[in-house]
């Protein structure tokens, strides 16, 4: 069993001096600890902490109203997850965000809005996995089963050809509201940037780039902020995005639709989409341990891939663990999934049965691909 140090979470500390100035200085002056040690504690990067230092930190938290004496030092520690479903189940609060579409004659109201059936199937598998630890909770009678205190769903408008300002406004509203909570929480953006603009916020924040800003002007693919790119189909609605487009860089023009990813040597590979034989999906998460904050993206390139991903999570969630990257107070998992089909495509009335892929290949991004972007 491993523990993380949650000083930053108790303080509501955001590692941005523009948003939380003076936190380190205040702790240093009160406790007498070294500035670098305090910074490491806020990032959950220390391997041990002397009892005297722990006592001074507890005094600081009580004195400044962040915790009561009876809550400490226990409130400073949290048990870390040991598998994919536990990563979600240990959060106090889980929010699943879905993109919804509306009919052209719906006006401004959500009354005729609809949720895609594939997304609904994926939501069901996520809820089942979180509540039952992927079906393994019955095997663990010796310890209490972790579960969120609150599960909620939020809705955002999917990108459309008109009224983009409302799409941006609503997605920013949901993402900002999630960031306001100081308790241990998780946000799951369900879908891709084609259907859910909150996914764009998660990826842009992770890789420190501007949301809804195309990056095809990069000199090479390695200079893109995000190591994943959704290559649109030519007939797709193509919202501007930091992680999607039809051009990888100024000189690279991939032609095959699908989900592209950077490899260890800087080249880019693709999990391709083809109407008959191939499809692609992705699972991405960043866990800021010290802040008690988890953000996750799960979705397919198409509705078919989203249904396939739901089945894959139900049977192979262990393949999305452990995280690809750990360091500087964060854990990051980044995986692309290639589905291959040999059977003829199902008839329309049988589509909800979900055609089984003949092969599922799960590829984790390389540690160095993420380190190049997260450690700059």
Comparing 345 with 44, the larger pLDDT belongs to 44
Tokens encoding 197? 């603009």
Q: How many CB atoms lie within 10 A of CB 73?
A: 14
- Model confidence at 110: pLDDT above 60: no
Residue 336, H or E segment = strand 330-340
Q: By the 8 A CB rule, do 245 and 216 touch?
A: yes
Tokens encoding 222? 């390695």
Nearest to 202 by CA among 186, 216, 217, 218: 186
**pLDDT score at 208:** 95
Nearest to 324 by CA among 254, 261, 245, 257: 261
Alpha helices in the chain (DSSP H): 7-11, 23-31, 35-42, 51-63, 84-89, 117-132, 164-180, 197-206, 303-316, 367-374
Average pLDDT, integer, range 38-61 = 83
Q: Is residue 151 classed as helix, strand or coil in its secondary structure? A: strand
Residue 326, H or E segment = strand 325-327
- Model confidence at 277: pLDDT above 60: yes
Average pLDDT, integer, range 11-23 = 64
Query: Using one digit for the tens of pLDDT, what is the confidence trace for 139-166?
Result: 565 567 888 999 999 999 999 877 788 9
Q: Is residue 85 classed as helix, strand or coil in its secondary structure? A: helix
**pLDDT score at 104:** 58
Query: Using one digit for the tens of pLDDT, what is the confidence trace for 279-312?
Result: 999 999 999 987 889 999 999 999 999 999 999 9
Output the CA–CA distances (angstroms, integers) from residue 150 to 50, 96, 198, in the order listed.
Answer: 35, 11, 20
Output the CA–CA distances (angstroms, integers) from residue 277 to 274, 340, 341, in the order listed.
Answer: 6, 6, 5
- Mean pLDDT of all residues belonging to the chain: 87
- Model confidence at 121: pLDDT above 90: yes
The alpha-carbon radius of gyration of the chain (Å, integer) is: 22
**pLDDT score at 114:** 87
**pLDDT score at 49:** 84
**pLDDT score at 115:** 87
Comparing 60 with 188, the larger pLDDT belongs to 188
- Model confidence at 18: pLDDT above 70: no
- Model confidence at 367: pLDDT above 70: yes
Q: On the CB side of 55, how many CA atoms lie within 13 Å of its CA?
A: 3
Rounded Cα–Cα distance for residues 258 and 300 (Å) = 10
Nearest to 313 by CA among 187, 125, 139: 125
Total residues found in the chain within this entry: 376
CA 81 to chain centre: 16
Q: Which residues does residue 326 pair with via DSSP β-bridges, in sequence order?
A: 331
Query: Strand 150-157 vs strand 228-231: parallel, antiparallel, or unpaired?
Result: unpaired
Average pLDDT, integer, range 255-275 = 97
Query: What is the architecture of the domain spanning 3-79?
Result: Orthogonal Bundle (1.10)
Query: Using one digit for the tens of pLDDT, what is the confidence trace for 311-330?
Result: 999 999 999 999 999 887 78
What's 101's DSSP letter? B
Nearest to 197 by CA among 171, 170, 229: 171
**pLDDT score at 12:** 73
Q: Is residue 363 classed as helix, strand or coil in its secondary structure? A: strand
**pLDDT score at 42:** 78
Average pLDDT, integer, range 101-111 = 61
User: In the chain, what are the domain boundaries?
Assistant: 3-79, 84-374
**pLDDT score at 22:** 79
């Amino acid at each position: 069993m491993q523990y993380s140090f949650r000083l930053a979470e108790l303080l509501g500390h955001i590692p941005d001096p523009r948003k939380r100035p003076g936190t380190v200085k205040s702790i240093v002056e009160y406790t007498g600890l070294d500035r670098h040690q305090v910074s490491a504690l806020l990032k959950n990067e220390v391997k041990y902490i002397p009892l005297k230092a722990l006592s001074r930190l507890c005094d600081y938290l009580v004195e400044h109203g962040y915790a009561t004496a009876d809550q400490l030092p226990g409130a400073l520690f949290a048990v870390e997850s040991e598998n994919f479903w536990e990563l979600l189940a240990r959060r106090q609060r889980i929010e699943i965000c879905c993109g919804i579409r509306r009919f052209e004659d719906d006006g401004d109201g959500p009354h005729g809005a609809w949720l895609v059936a594939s997304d609904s199937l994926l939501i069901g598998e996520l809820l089942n996995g979180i509540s039952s630890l992927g079906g393994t909770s019955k095997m663990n009678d010796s310890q209490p089963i972790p579960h969120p205190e609150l599960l909620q769903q939020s809705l955002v408008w999917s990108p459309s050809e008109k009224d983009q300002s409302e799409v941006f406004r609503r997605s920013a509203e949901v993402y900002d509201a999630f960031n306001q909570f100081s308790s241990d929480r998780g946000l799951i953006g369900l879908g891709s940037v084609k259907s859910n603009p909150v996914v764009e916020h998660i990826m842009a924040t992770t890789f420190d780039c501007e949301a809804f800003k195309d990056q095809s002007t990069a000199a090479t693919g390695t200079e893109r902020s995000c190591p994943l790119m959704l290559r649109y189909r030519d007939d797709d609605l193509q919202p501007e995005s930091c992680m999607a487009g039809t051009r990888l860089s100024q000189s690279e023009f991939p032609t095959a639709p699908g989900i592209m990813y950077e490899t260890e040597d800087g080249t880019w590979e693709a999990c391709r989409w083809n109407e008959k034989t191939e499809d692609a999906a992705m699972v991405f998460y960043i866990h800021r341990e010290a802040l008690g904050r988890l953000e996750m993206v799960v979705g397919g390139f198409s509705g078919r891939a989203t249904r396939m991903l739901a089945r894959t999570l139900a049977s192979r969630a262990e393949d999305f663990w452990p995280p690809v990257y750990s360091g500087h107070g964060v854990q990051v998992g980044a995986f692309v999934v290639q589905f291959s089909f040999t059977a003829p495509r199902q008839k329309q009335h049988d589509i909800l049965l979900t055609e089984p892929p003949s092969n599922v290949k799960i590829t984790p991004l390389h540690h160095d691909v993420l380190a190049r972007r997260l450690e700059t």
